[in-house]
Structures are given as C-alpha cells and as structure tokens.
C-alpha cells in the first residue's frame, strides 16, 4: 500500500482507492482482531490533545494498544509546555523525536497542517477547530459500509450545526466523491452549510437540497447524520442558547423514516437525539463509536508501513 510515511490532515488527502484499502483493512481487523495484535509492536504513538475528547483520543490509544504498540501524550494543553508558551511547532519537532506517529487535536484551524510541516514522523489530524476531522470520516464510512453495505447512491441527511461541525465538513467533501451520493442539509439558517462547501458541491455536480425543517425530508434519507450545536465555536452565548435545541430527533420524527435508515452521530450528544431513539434498531451511533477504533487501527498500520 502506498500510504507509508504519509500524513492525514484533510479528508481528501487519500484517493478513494487508498481510502477504500484502509477501510477494507479495518474490516479485516474487525473480523479477526487477534491476528493483528502484534502488528505495531515496538512502535510508539504520541497522542497530543490540546482540546477535550473522549472517542477520538481513547479510540486512537486503544487502537495502538490493540496493535501491540505503546502510547505517550497528554489530554489537555495545560499539562504540556504549551501552558508555558511553547509553540505548536516546537512541541511537534520535539515529540517527533520520541514517537513514530503523532495524533494531534487542536482548537485552531490549520494546526495539524502546521504540525505536519515540521514533523519527522506521520501526523494525523484528530480535529482542528471548525475545519476538519478526517479520521471521523473514516469512522463514518466504515460504519456506513457495515450497516448499508455500500456508500454510492445513498441520500445522506446532515442535520444540526452544519456551519461549525467539522465532522460534517469532512464527511460531505469525502463522500461526495462516491457515485450517486446526494445530500439533504437540515439546519437553522444561521448554521447552514458553509459557502465553500456549497461551492465544492456545485463545482463537482453533486445534488443537494437545504431545508430549515427536518420533518419534511426525513422520509427521503438513507443515512441521517445528526450533529451537536458546537457551543465552543460560538462567540455569543445567547445565540447558542437560542439555536441549540431547534433540531431534536425523537421517535415521532422517525415515524416517516425508512425502515433501513442508518442514524449516525459523531458524538458527544447533548440534546439533539432523544434517549428514546437509542432503542431504535436504526440507531447506529454507538456502533459508529466502536468502528472508530478499527478505522484508526487500519490507518496507523497503513501510515506506519506495517501492511
């Protein structure tokens, strides 16, 4: 595979063929994890999280441990020398002498790209501000393949905070490359999908509609990707409070949905999916969180040239 020593900063860094190879490897690992438990023996992953995380950090760390490797790092900027004023570049230059691969989450857009520019080892973007979250997209794709058995031809609904949600930005750019995928964007006007993404879809001839109501369109969706309103990206708390509960998925709204709808959410959830939905067989978001570990196992094995 040609991914050895590469970085993953943007969701478009890998071609569809390269990405599908990573996803196919993830499926092989998922089917027989024990066969891979020494694959990264002796390797070290640095997990540098300058912003809070549960799933991404722990699934990366679990992925490395389950492949036989080891993990160093920090889970908040305050416990690193960033708190003393060290630049991101100096941190990365230093850590790349200790680790074989660096996973970085940072509140600033473009931080992972800066890290990749100075690192001597592969860098993976674990989320940079409101910009991108490419390993979440690998996770989402692995889940969609697992549930729907295909990606092409699906009508994908994205609902909630489409302006600040980096997971949606990466997902839309990425899966619009698959034949026949179309989108239904449901959000309050203030949280519409950004202009650059609409331009991207227009330039690539991808079909989409926008609505400020979820109910009327849910029946058309094959996948429904719910998102949290990203409180941490708002400048104005009153605006957040006004918008945060406008789109809530509950059992009533699902009555008109397809029997085989796949409901995803990158998590964490706040209020946007009622707890009653968890018991619905169409709810796939905890399965999705599990897929994240296998996607990251396959990614690291590929970037480290172990497959």
Give the nearest distance from C-beta 272 to ligand CP in angstroms. Answer: 13
Q: Which residue has the tokens 């991101």?
A: 88
What's the N-to-C CA distance of the chain in angstroms?
A: 7
Residue 55 in the binding site for ligand CP (CB under 6 A):
yes
Binding-site size for ligand CP (CB under 6 A) equals: 9
Q: Is 54 in the site for ligand CP (CB under 6 A)?
A: yes
Instruction: Please say which residue, 91 or 230, places its beta carbon nearer to ligand CP.
Output: 230
**Residue 141 near residue 16 (C-beta atoms within 8 A):** no
Of 138 and 155, nearer to ligand CP (C-beta) is 138
Site string for ligand CP, 109-128 (x = CB under 6 A): ------------------x-
Can residue 267 be called a binding residue for ligand CP (CB under 6 A)? yes
Burial of 200 (0-12, 13-18, 19+ CB in 10 A): middle
Q: C-alpha distances in angstroms, 3 versus 18, 42, 174?
A: 8, 20, 18
Which stretch, 50-58, 156-164, 240-248, 271-279, contacts ligand CP (CB under 6 A)? 50-58
Minimum CB distance to ligand CP smaller for 1 or for 58 = 58
51/271 Cα distance (integer angstroms): 21
**Collapsing DSSP states into helix, strand and coil, what is residue 267?**
coil
Cα torsion through 20, 153, 179, 137, rounded to 10? -40
Smallest gap from residue 175 Cβ to ligand CP (A): 17
- Nearer Cβ to ligand CP (129/266): 266
Nearest distance, CB of residue 243 and ligand CP, angstroms: 20
Q: How far is the CB of 127 from ligand CP (least distance, A)?
A: 6
Separation of alpha carbons 8 and 124, rounded Å: 5
CB of 266 to ligand CP, least distance (A): 4
The DSSP string of 193-248 is PPHHHHHHHHHTT--EEEES-STTTGGG-SEEEE----GGG-S-HHHHHHHTTS--
Question: Which class for 9: exposed (0-12), middle (13-18), buried (19 or more C-beta within 10 A)?
Answer: buried
- 133-192 residues in contact with ligand CP (CB under 6 A) are 136
Selected binder of ligand CP within 53, 75, 119, 137 (CB under 6 A): 53
Question: Rule CB under 6 A: which residues touch ligand CP?
Answer: 53-56, 127, 136, 266-268
């Amino acid at each position: 595979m040609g991914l050895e020593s590469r970085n993953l900063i943007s969701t478009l860094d890998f071609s569809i063929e390269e990405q599908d190879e990573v996803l196919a490897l993830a499926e092989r690992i998922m089917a027989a994890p024990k066969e891979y438990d020494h694959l990264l023996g002796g390797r070290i992953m640095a997990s540098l999280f300058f912003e809070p995380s549960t799933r991404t950090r722990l699934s990366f760390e679990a992925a490395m441990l389950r492949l036989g490797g080891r993990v160093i790092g920090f889970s908040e900027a305050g416990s690193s020398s960033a708190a003393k004023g060290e630049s991101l570049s100096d941190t990365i230059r230093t850590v790349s002498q200790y680790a074989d691969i660096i996973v970085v989450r940072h509140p600033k857009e473009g931080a992972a790209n800066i890290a990749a520019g100075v690192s001597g080892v592969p860098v993976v973007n674990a989320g940079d501000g409101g910009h991108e979250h490419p390993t979440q997209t690998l996770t989402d794709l692995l889940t969609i393949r697992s549930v729907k058995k295909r990606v092409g031809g699906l009508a994908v609904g994205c609902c909630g905070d489409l302006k600040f949600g980096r997971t949606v930005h990466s997902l839309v750019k990425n899966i619009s490359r698959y034949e026949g995928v179309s989108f239904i964007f449901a959000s309050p006007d203030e949280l519409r999908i950004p202009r650059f993404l609409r331009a991207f879809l227009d330039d690539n001839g991808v079909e989409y509609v926008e609505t400020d109501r979820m109910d009327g369109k849910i029946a058309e969706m094959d996948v429904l990707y719910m998102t949290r309103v990203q409180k941490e990206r708002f400048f104005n708390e009153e605006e957040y409070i006004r918008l945060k509960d406008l789109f809530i998925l509950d059992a009533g709204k699902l009555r008109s949905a397809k029997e085989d709808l796949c409901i995803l959410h990158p998590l964490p959830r706040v209020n946007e999916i009622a707890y009653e939905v968890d018991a619905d067989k169409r709810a796939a978001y905890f399965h999705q969180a599990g897929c994240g570990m296998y996607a990251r196992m396959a990614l690291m094995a590929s970037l480290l040239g172990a497959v």
